[in-house]
Amino acid sequence: MKNFGELLKGPNQLSKAVGDLTGLRVYPESVSVAAEMFFALARKGIEKRLIILFENARKAADFTGRHNSISIDGVQATIVICPLNHHNAVGIRGHLPFTRPVTVGVKKSIGTGDRLGISTPGHVLAVRKGTMQPVFCQQSIREMSRTHRTAQQVMDSACWGVLQAGWRGGFGADADHLKTTDDIDTCFKKGFTLYTVDPSDHIEDAADSDSGQKLRAGFEALPWDILQSNCNDCITAYADKKFKIPGLSITITNKDLLQIAVKCGKAIAHILIMFEHLKNRFAKGKFELEISIDETAVPTSAAQHYYLASELKRLGVEWVSLAPHFVGRFEKGVDYIGDLDAFRDRFAKHIAVARHFGPYKISLHSASDKFSIYPIAAELGRELVHVKTAGTSYVEALRVIAEIDPQLFRRILAFAKEQYAHDKATYNVSASLERMPAVENLKDQQLPAVLDDFHIRQLCHVTFGSVLTAKKDDTGFLFYDPLMMALRQNEQLYYKVLEEHIGKHIMPFA
């Protein structure tokens, strides 16, 4: 007669037996064996459950669910069918290390933000076709606020998606666009590993055009105590000097220095404060820092990047990636708008600075669907590139809705048009309602393709929060409930669409 240990040696056969006994359909990629326990994710209808099989009841103390005694091939065991709640997500991360986020390091990578909490299995399918390290768990505080999600929900949904898809290659968790130490604390408590600090509130864009006494006064008023320097030392280090590094020569005049220092000085101090706070929080763990200066008024020059990196290095700050503001327009949800030769020239300069002071990665923010620049970034950056996407997976979910529930899609689109003027205020977009195709004149089978239109794609990209949180009444949501129901009922179609679309972002870097 077999014993329980022998059953665990045939996890695929055990998976089939468990499925037959419970009536649940097991996701084969999710099957795992650890510490003499069998784990799998399964579903019945649209409901998903965690299945745990064990011999010793004490081993299931970390999980809550419905316990039953079963017999498989004459072996008595206990099965627990668990809801996918936070308590059980913590338990699974404790027992299956591959479901816990890790630091990614200085390797080419892609962030695949998931505004719906169900997209990770599709992202896994795409990532498997390339060689980029994934950051499956990624969401900004702004996005969490607009979708009414918490950092914990973002983390747990990525964990369950990784388990379902059986991804064992490691993944990062990006707490995106953080502005305060309170933001850091919120995400630290939930296990995030990458912290993208956004110092845009501390950048003085007006310094680019300031001169004379005003510029000098701003320079003298910088927080030199935090910067651990003074006016004279800064001038001695940078003013009227030429800096030669491999692939780049930079000259900084005295006026250039004053403008750059006034523009970036307070931001550098803020980054240092955020970094020191992270070091204190992670006294016994690892974290990664990304610096985001992409939300400034004008593109980041090579001299500004050089000064910023040089000063941060002097102050002992360590970072894994930096997002400059590039030339051209990085509008949400559409391809790059601008001169590709100019982008190539500026990207090459940023990579030269990153190699000199790091190496660290150059991060492409608002990088969804920027297909024309990926080959340039891949060629020049090689391993030193991070591509950050988020809203494009939501827009592709709407493509699935357009195919399987045209009337729901039409209602969502009409509502999005009503919200666009308000929602676009904090995004870099140029879509025009007047230039959108007349969807009411299109047949149902034409609707999925309408999401390739520049204006409609941007419309959908920035109105996600309004659509997902629109209330029907006290009992439910106007669009979220039917949208999620449809996607869950057709999850394989959604995963296939994501595999193809996110795959287009990844393949140029393969």
How far is residue 167's CA from residue 147's CA, in Å, rounded to a whole number?
Answer: 26
Among 27, 29, 81, 89, which Cα is nearest to 54's? 81
Catalytically annotated residue among 114, 183, 290, 369: 290
Helix axes 302-314, 340-357, angle to 10 degrees: 20
The neighbour count for residue 66, using CB atoms within 10 Å, is: 10
* Chain position carrying tokens 């509130």: 201
**Alpha-carbon distances of 111 from 41, 313, 408, rounded to whole Å:** 24, 25, 29
**Pairing state between β 288-292 and 321-323:** parallel
Residues 6+ apart with CB under 8 A from 169: 127, 133, 134
Among 201, 200, 172, 202, which Cα is nearest to 187's? 172
Among 384, 374, 272, which Cα is nearest to 323's? 384
CA dihedral angle for residue 426, residue 271, residue 158, residue 477, rounded to 10 degrees = -30
Structure token digits, residue 332: 């949400």
- With residue 233 as reference, give the H or E element that holds it: helix 231-238
How far is residue 196's CA from residue 58's CA, in Å, rounded to a whole number?
Answer: 40
How far is residue 153's CA from residue 214's CA, in Å, rounded to a whole number?
Answer: 47
Sign, CA torsion 373/377/378/384: negative
Catalytically annotated residue among 156, 174, 176, 405: 176
* Chain position carrying tokens 């590993």: 193
Q: Reply yes or no on whether 379 is catalytic.
A: no
Burial class (CB in 10 A: 0-12, 13-18, 19+), 469: middle
- With residue 197 as reference, give the H or E element that holds it: strand 194-197
How far is residue 19's CA from residue 72's CA, in Å, rounded to a whole number?
Answer: 12
The neighbour count for residue 229, using CB atoms within 10 Å, is: 17
Residues 6+ apart with CB under 8 A from 74: 1, 2
Q: Reply yes or no on whether 290 is catalytic.
A: yes
Length of the chain: 510
Dihedrals phi, psi of 78, to nearest 5 degrees: -115, 135
Structure token digits, residue 447: 């609707």
Residue 194: which region, alpha, beta or left (left: phi > 0; alpha: psi -120 to 50)?
beta
Looking at the annotation, which residues are catalytic? 176, 290
